[in-house]
Structure 1
Amino acid sequence: MSAVGEIIQHVATVRGQVERTEVAQSATYKWLMAEHNFEKRLPAYSEKEGGIHQIVCDHFKGHQCAVEIFPFSRHSGSKLYQVKDTKTDNILGLLKVFPEDRSYEFLDEVFSYDAYQKHSLRCPSILGVAKLVDETETNCVLVEEMIPGETLQQHMDKLFAEKLGSTDREAQLQRLDELFISFGKSFAAFHTTDHSPPAATDSYTQQHFLEIIYDALEQLKAANAEVDEYYGIDDKDQFMSAIREYVGQNRELMQAPAPRSYIHADCSFGNFVYGEDKEFHLLDSWWGAFAVDSKGEPRGTPFFDYMQVINRLWYLLKDEKLSNAEYQQLQSAFRKGYAEAKGTIPDEEMQNFYSFVDAMLLLGGVTKWFHHGAKDSLGHLGQYWVGWLNGSLLQETKDIAKAV
């Protein structure tokens, strides 16, 4: 069995153990992953002896290659390299290097990509796995193909480069309209691989969403006055109490019948490539791996992803990169494509709930890393969410509580 096959088998075994536990929590899964010695299944390379270049040579034989690190990844937990053919200047593949304390991300990405490909979902092929060893730690390396094409974010950037109201901007907007219809269809296909009748959201997935919420509450509770002031939280106790009340009043929404689906869970537009084959391909799948069961089948709900896409358009509206008319047009285009491909569009109550979960995911992460760069990169999105929570969702919760 190949190293990739052994890793997939390993993850399936661990997931099976978690699914048999009384309380199936993602924290339990991460703990079990850490306890199992999976690294012995990976080919070893020495970082001191130019391990990255050796991995490239072994996987891209017959090419003269250059390895370049993506600048943004120098500041992230995992490092991302691109492998370029120096003769043709073509990008041959990508290397993702996961630090030891994030090895579960590596395992989840390998496992989820394999599951998606079994259902003919478009994502990068795994070319190989390895471990990069130095004196202090062992890093996991994932080698994957490069999808030729441009990300949806790159297409959005072309719109932003044109002046509002210009004919060039209007032409690019129409191009984006077509792309978002196609994107909606592609996402619906990702969400409809399971044809079983709608059912309550899987208990493991429910627990994962609740952990997102409770983690954000813990981060907000521990945050200092500077963070509260930045977000615009005047009375933190009242704010957090309103969040808990909302969860208590609405968590049963996860019990409502919904399609069983995979979840991407990191729907930034840079994670979707419109390929030269005129199809969308998804990248960076580990975030949504909690919605893949031990057999590689979907156990999530599509509503979280659906609202993440809408919310990312909302970010661009709030950032004044999109006009309100453009925001409405692209949102409608995505919805049209999604519906045409038989995707299930959530009702308003579900939209609010899964936007709330998305808000808590963002707030938890930004608050945790607020003083380590997150304020400058994503902090303003936290401000948007606090404004939304205070202005609509939590106010309604307070009104309900008063009525009771």
Structure 2
Amino acid sequence: MPFALYMLALAVFVMGTSEFMLAGLLPAIATDLDVTVGTAGLLTSAFAVGMVVGAPLMAAFARRWPPRTALLVCLLLFAACHVIAAVTSQFPILLVARVLSALANAGFLAVALSAATTLVPDDRKGRALAILLSGTTIATVVGVPAGALLGAAAGWRTTFWAISLLCVPAALGILRGVTETRSRADDGTGSPRLRAELAQLRSRRLLRAMTLGALVNGATFAAFTFLAPVVTETAGLADVWVSVVLVMFGVGSFFGVTVAGRLSDTRPVLVLAIGGPLLLAGWIGLALSASNPVLLVALALVQGMLSFGVGSTLIAQVLYAASAAPTMAGSYATAALNIGAAAGPVLGALGLAAGVGRLAPVWVAAGLTALALVVMLLWKPSGGLGETRGARLHSGSSGEPDRAVG
């Protein structure tokens, strides 16, 4: 795989660490900036909203830029926002910096998802996306615990400085590894106008893929966000086991995107047909057996693998379905991911507020996964059901092979 692909994954790792590490830093931020923990929590919500809005907005704004330029601008803006966050003593400034960093993150990921598929042959797109998204999974295994430890040892501001510094090698790698080309909207191949690319959102096949991606990612974040009380209260384990369970989930997610990446180009139907029902069974099993510490740890590993394996395959399907929108396809995939990431924790919190119990978020995850399976079975878009080498390849309107799960 190209060197540039791994540099893109490094940047995604840095951004993923920044996105997830905040949960452990909120109390310290609230104390330092003299706000309540609830107010500090707005930083998380603002980031999620910025990611959803920023993906199509930044992709549309930068669609006439060469990919390397767009990637570097987004990454440097992201780093600058973390420098501002590290030095400010005003919560409103920190909040604005967080929103801007989310916009930069969304823009980077939208461009990177599209750029990654251009670095490899058509039949290896899923594997390229797996490498790119492994940056997020490694962030949950390494980056988030490291950020929490660094914040506890040296203060929350140090973690923001560390994130900004890690952007430097990623930027240098992209500068060296991503060849400067003409803009994606002016590449000499008659790329469609922005209005035509936005019109692809009326495609039933694209909407279906985005809906499925959002549902599965929503299920993942509904359960993942509220695993800590399940570990300490339902299973009765010590606080240190929270990190163990989260790391196991992260390890599973890394294996999930790695395995799915090798299959999502050639056997997407197989991945979804087997992985989808197993994912649902796993959430139900976790909800029923969370009081057993051994099963809890084992299922955290399995669910991490299934969630990211199925999820990354669906995101690859979004890109295939949006092949007629070459400069906006990555933003559609990013939006689907982050709609789920924003909605899942909210639905999990509503389940907790309803008094269903500490396992309510896990049941929410099961419900969202079940809904995804129903959509997969009943919502038949235009275009068929196919797999390369196992069934038919469907040609997108852009003329490239399209591996569609329809």
Whether TM exceeds 0.5 here: the answer is no
The structure whose RCO (Cα within 8 Å, separation 6+) is larger is 2
Higher strand share: 1
Higher helix share: 2
TM-score, length of structure 1 as denominator length: 0.26
